[in-house]
Structure 1
Amino acid sequence: MHHDEQVTCPEIRLATTSMLDHELPKSRPPRPVDPGVPADPPNLLPTINGGSGQTVSPTNETTLHGARLWSLIGGLYLAVYLVGLDLSMLSTVIPKLSDYFHRISDVGWYEIAYLVPICVLQPLAGQIYTVMPSKHTYLAFFTVFELGSLACAVAPTSPVFIIGRAITGIGAAGLMNGGLVIISAACPPRIRPMITGAAISLIPLGGITGPLIAGALTDHLGWKWCFWIFLPVGAVTAIIIVAVRIPEQAPKPPFRQALSELPRSVDPVGFLLFAPAIIELLLAISWGGADFAWSSPTIIGLFCGSVATMIAFAMWSRYAGERALIPRSTMLHPLVVFGSAVVAMQGGSTTVVTYYLPLWFQAIQGVSAVGAGVRLLPSMISMIAGMMTAAVLVRRLHYVPPWAIAGSILSAVGTGLLTTLSVTSTTGHWIGYQILTGYGRGMALQIPVIAVQESLPSEELAMATSSLTLLMYLGSAIGTSVGQTIFRSGIPGALAQYAPFVDPELVINTGATEIQQLVTPDQLPGLLRAYNEALTQIFFYPTASAAVAVLLAFGLGWKRIGVDDDSPDTAGVTMSEMDTCRSGTAVS
């Protein structure tokens, strides 16, 4: 095409698109339009004048369709749900574990052993997904996850169980981010935001249903079945991953070559600095306020060590540049920075509500764990509705910040209203508050991932997704710890005011379903009022987190993203080309 030739943009079809259809058969990767320009990789679309390519979303040549696509999505969803399930089932199983192993002092390690490798290995998993074929990498992580579940199921002693939890966490570290990377490559752009949002919502879904499933299995089959169940269910995912062809987001070498190059592609020094920083942080927030006072030398030392090691990691990353554990281009990208912050705030908010609202139902309303789970259905249903709404809006309007802002505002209002719950609150109150919270959370939580998928170059997606996943898990861990601290510090004052005849330590160490059995019927109203006040104060934290997320969401990039997938004639055309066509300017 000559440089002075104008691009015409008829409503039905671009002439240049027709030309490319003849030159680029769908059965093989695109050939260079200009003989002097090297061939573009399969995920690059040559520009109209035959110059260098622009990174775009996967085209129909790489994405899956029909039964293959939906079976792959189903398998990935199942794996993500299992990760969320494993995160939440333990709270129900712990009493049985302490009775079985007779090691009450090890209880805290059962959760830490699982959470630490998930967080520590996120950047390393991102590097592996960047270099290695997604199919082999995902299967490797999933196999480790299943082996860890098997080890927990057959563990004869508490130390073996802790080792099994650690192995499970190592495997889980690559499942959430790996699933999102595969979804980004396999899904057509038209449905990708909705599929991504649904995948993210499965973590809190597992958090809600986990205690219910664990309770049923423990009561009828024994606690070991809470881990045996992962093997047959996980086998379904493994079979699907093996059977379905999984496309790559960016060109990668063959498996054997990639495996031989893997040691040179990772950053061992960065990992050795990053790992202790995260471990110290997680230990500090897990032990603080529970095993040790926040002002104790142990907790202060852990926080100081984490900060010092993280500073050393940042200095090393600056020196290593793009070969660092988290490359500077990814670490400092505004979408990754603000997206990770939004995910951390919303992740912490989600975890606090999911964990402590059922306690309110059990303690104040006197329902069982199953009944509390049923009462959380408004949160889940509204969250799915919010997710679908945001996905449709992103697809139609091509901007992400408005929906993250609106969703964060709604979730802040909803959690703020949860602080007003009382012993006399009606069904309409807690259902309405959950709808606001869940709908807003569903809109906001997925938006950073969608923004990253649609805006960053394909070769950076794995690392960026790992960063978002890491901050989501860290936000959840911090939220749980802060909630516990608020409750522990609030219950003595509330009891002193409304039920001075009750020992605070007795209340703290008693399960929510048994709280009403601690006092006589005439003393119960005062105890419930005190317990209600201590619990509802916790919801100020997710309110503040969601409010901060409102401000952070403004940094998600006010740029038009995606393509107009409703029209097949413009599918795969970059936004710069669309804008050029609309303005009628020449393509140089």
Structure 2
Amino acid sequence: MNPLLLDNETNQHSEDKLKTTIFQQIDTVLTAPLYDEKSEDQTSADTGSEKHELTTGDSETGKLTIEDDHYEYIKGPKLYLVMLATAIVYFLIMLDNTILATAIPYITSEFHSLLDVGWYGSAYQLACSALQPFGGKIYSNFNSKWAFIIYLILFEVGSAVCGAASSSTMLIGGRAIAGVGGSGLLNGTLIIMNSCIPPHRQPGRFPVGQLGIAFGPLIGGAFTEYVTWRWCFYVNLPVGGAVAIVLAFIQIPDLIKKPKLRNVFQNAIIDFDLPGFVLFAPSAIMLFLALQYGGNQFPWNSQQVIGLFCGSGANFIVWLIWERHQGSNAMVPLAMIKQRVMWASCVAALFLSGTMFITAYYLPIYFQTVRAATPFISGVHVLPNILAQMILGIIAGGLIQRVGYYPPFVILGAILNATGCGLLSLLSPHTSTGKWIGYQIIFGAGRGLAMSIPVLAVQNHLPKYMIPASMSTLVFLQNLSAAVMTVISETILTNSLRDIIPLDAPGVNPQAVINAGTTAAALAQAVGQDQLPGVLWAYSHALQRIWYFAAGLAVPPFVAGWCFNWDNVRQKAMKDKEAEVSNKE
């Protein structure tokens, strides 16, 4: 008998097959095991799977409770197909985070929508961050493979809407739909991978994701310049569709036993913390609207903007009270946040993510606007920081295994990140190539050293039962930071242009520049060649304020770095390995 199922659950499943109601048939499809119930010897012979010790599930809640059962991982061609499929999805999500950066100037020129630049990234990140805490609960209660495929379909639908967008509003809506799908894909790849192979034998999928970040600007620039920016979204459709088809025909075991569908819906309000979501979502939306409207549609001191800020804050306080009341069932358990390693990791992840997305979105604008680079060339120009981040991230992982301590990497990384972002403020229309490459390498190296530390710290120091919630919280904060910081940066840019253009380009209407878009050609058409040099200097000076903002965001991780646990990770890993060997014996 399959070791993950209890006898009474097996009998119940056999009885369910004989029932004919629609609800019961759906229940069987979504919650039934994805493999036949055979003896352990027969199963191993048929699938070539390998058995490992794993905690099993409680018959009602699906939570891991027992530590002496065996779990069978898949192997062979099916394993390679699943790993390839999930790695491709991870690549697409990471690609989606940066591919749009080089296309934004052309999108704003086509739709005359500079005021919406912040929303092109924020709509995706807001939807993703608001729903991401639900991802862990979805995968805990429903079949992992089908939940992953549904998330992927939503991501594909959003990409199709973006590619076919006829207006800036439609593009933003498509980004929001894609964000809903993306909210369950990154954690879904982790869950499926852990379901298929033991942790110590997991292939290197994160470097593939890093390649997605690295080649996003380059691929986006190539599409924008030589085909159309719409292929930045259309590229997801055939690739994602192929992945969905492959996964649909492969049996993927669930890491934990899932409750019956009937029980899931009966306990949904409590288990999914739906009131918490209802309280949190309006807070985030009102905050975003206040940041987007402030200084653009309405003055900062207007009743609309002030009301949105107050409403967001008040709702957030109510949400915190509710989360405390919920205890362990909360979206973000407060007992977990009180752990020193957790809040230090949250601070580091929050601000490191913010600096990464600010530079990812606004460096291409600098190159395409101030330096008149094409989308493809601007994608090439931003590779130094992304490649530095990828390479130093790999090096940091190896060094941590040798040194055993990770706080120094956060501290050094924060210093380099802040220094590099500060040096970006020296960029001008005439900055030499060596300087802008060097500046990027500095802050890219800093982020490479520090970006993975929050996840590593949480995995090594929190109790095992807190790991799923802590991972969801970190990803949630990274997405939220990306959304908030890009909106704030857009507000800084547009308001700075209104202040600086009268000084650097007297006689030019600031609103005409803002409406023109962010390519040098569009600006020249809007203001004329004689006024273009002054406008480019105004853009350079306005971007300086964004670089100052990014440098400021890089400081909190430096402080948080000193708050991490100074325990030797290498020694802990050796003890865990010795304990694992003893258990097997």
The CA deviation at 1:576 is 13
Aligned positions of 1:31-50 closer than 5 A: 44=67
Residue 420 of structure 1 is matched in structure 2 by: 426
Alignment pair present for 1:407 and 2:416 = no
| Equivalences, count | 523
Assess, with a 3 A threshold, how the Cα gap between structure 1 residues 559 and 257 changes in structure 2: closer, same or farther.
farther
CA distance in 1: counterparts of 2:282 and 2:567, whole angstroms = 37
Residue 520 of structure 2 is matched in structure 1 by: 513
Helix, strand or coil at the partner of 1:293: coil
Question: Are the equivalent residues in 2 in contact too, given 1:495–1:527 (CA < 8 A)?
Answer: yes
The CA deviation at 1:205 is 3.8
Which residue among 298, 320, 335 is the counterpart of 1:314?
A: 320
Helix, strand or coil at the partner of 1:423: coil
Helix, strand or coil at the partner of 1:509: helix
CA distance in 2: counterparts of 1:289 and 1:577, whole angstroms = 64
Aligned positions of 1:232-247 closer than 5 A: 232-242=238-248
Helix, strand or coil at the partner of 1:362: helix
Assess, with a 3 A threshold, how the Cα gap between structure 1 residues 378 and 227 changes in structure 2: closer, same or farther.
closer
Question: Are the equivalent residues in 2 in contact too, given 1:178–1:462 (CA < 8 A)?
Answer: no
Residue 305 of structure 1 is matched in structure 2 by: 311
Residue 128 of structure 1 is matched in structure 2 by: 138
The CA deviation at 1:278 is 1.6
Which residue among 216, 221, 244 is the counterpart of 1:212?
A: 221
Residue 539 of structure 1 is matched in structure 2 by: 547
Alignment pair present for 1:252 and 2:257 = yes
CA distance in 1: counterparts of 2:478 and 2:332, whole angstroms = 16
Q: Comparing 90-99 with 116-125, which one deviates more in the overlay?
A: 90-99
Alignment pair present for 1:75 and 2:80 = no
Q: Comparing 339-348 with 65-74, which one deviates more in the overlay?
A: 65-74
Assess, with a 3 A threshold, how the Cα gap between structure 1 residues 518 and 280 changes in structure 2: closer, same or farther.
closer
CA distance in 2: counterparts of 1:575 and 1:544, whole angstroms = 44
Q: Which runs of 5+ in 1 are unaligned?
A: 1-24, 33-39, 47-58, 579-588
Residue 271 of structure 1 is matched in structure 2 by: 277
Residue 7 of structure 2 is matched in structure 1 by: none
Residue 91 of structure 1 is matched in structure 2 by: 104
CA distance in 2: counterparts of 1:365 and 1:121, whole angstroms = 38
Assess, with a 3 A threshold, how the Cα gap between structure 1 residues 421 and 490 changes in structure 2: closer, same or farther.
same
CA distance in 1: counterparts of 2:266 and 2:220, whole angstroms = 43
Question: Are the equivalent residues in 2 in contact too, given 1:152–1:161 (CA < 8 A)?
Answer: yes
The CA deviation at 1:476 is 1.3
Q: Comparing 168-177 with 426-435, which one deviates more in the overlay?
A: 168-177
Residue 448 of structure 2 is matched in structure 1 by: 442
CA distance in 1: counterparts of 2:139 and 2:84, whole angstroms = 21
Question: Are the equivalent residues in 2 in contact too, given 1:145–1:171 (CA < 8 A)?
Answer: yes
The CA deviation at 1:447 is 1.6
Q: Deviations over 1:79-133 (max 9, x none)?
A: 233334445537367458749xxx9999987666544321221222232234444
Aligned positions of 1:315-330 closer than 5 A: 315-330=321-336
Helix, strand or coil at the partner of 1:425: coil
Q: Deviations over 1:384-420 (max 9, x none)?
A: 1111012112333333322122211111111111111
Helix, strand or coil at the partner of 2:296: coil
Residue 549 of structure 1 is matched in structure 2 by: 557
Helix, strand or coil at the partner of 2:578: coil
The CA deviation at 1:562 is 6.3
CA distance in 2: counterparts of 1:562 and 1:182, whole angstroms = 27
Helix, strand or coil at the partner of 2:431: coil
The CA deviation at 1:237 is 2.9
The CA deviation at 1:453 is 3.2
Residue 478 of structure 1 is matched in structure 2 by: 484
The CA deviation at 1:430 is 0.8
Assess, with a 3 A threshold, how the Cα gap between structure 1 residues 417 and 379 changes in structure 2: closer, same or farther.
same
Q: Which runs of 5+ in 2 are unaligned?
A: 1-43, 56-62
Alignment pair present for 1:572 and 2:580 = no
CA distance in 2: counterparts of 1:255 and 1:96, whole angstroms = 52
Residue 361 of structure 2 is matched in structure 1 by: 355
Assess, with a 3 A threshold, how the Cα gap between structure 1 residues 476 and 222 changes in structure 2: closer, same or farther.
closer
Letter of the 2:474 counterpart: L
Q: Deviations over 1:293-336 (max 9, x none)?
A: 33222222111111111111111111121122222333433333
Letter of the 1:487 counterpart: L
The CA deviation at 1:498 is 3.4
Question: Are the equivalent residues in 2 in contact too, given 1:265–1:323 (CA < 8 A)?
Answer: yes
Letter of the 2:144 counterpart: S
Q: Comparing 81-90 with 455-464, which one deviates more in the overlay?
A: 81-90
Letter of the 1:513 counterpart: A
Alignment pair present for 1:118 and 2:123 = no
Question: Are the equivalent residues in 2 in contact too, given 1:135–1:241 (CA < 8 A)?
Answer: yes
- Give the root-mean-square deviation of aligned CA atoms: 4.0
CA distance in 1: counterparts of 2:222 and 2:458, whole angstroms = 34
Which residue among 130, 152, 157 is the counterpart of 1:147?
A: 157
Percent identity between matched residues is: 32
CA distance in 2: counterparts of 1:98 and 1:521, whole angstroms = 22
Question: Are the equivalent residues in 2 in contact too, given 1:181–1:461 (CA < 8 A)?
Answer: no
Residue 431 of structure 1 is matched in structure 2 by: 437
Residue 138 of structure 1 is matched in structure 2 by: 148
CA distance in 2: counterparts of 1:440 and 1:248, whole angstroms = 38
Question: Are the equivalent residues in 2 in contact too, given 1:193–1:450 (CA < 8 A)?
Answer: no
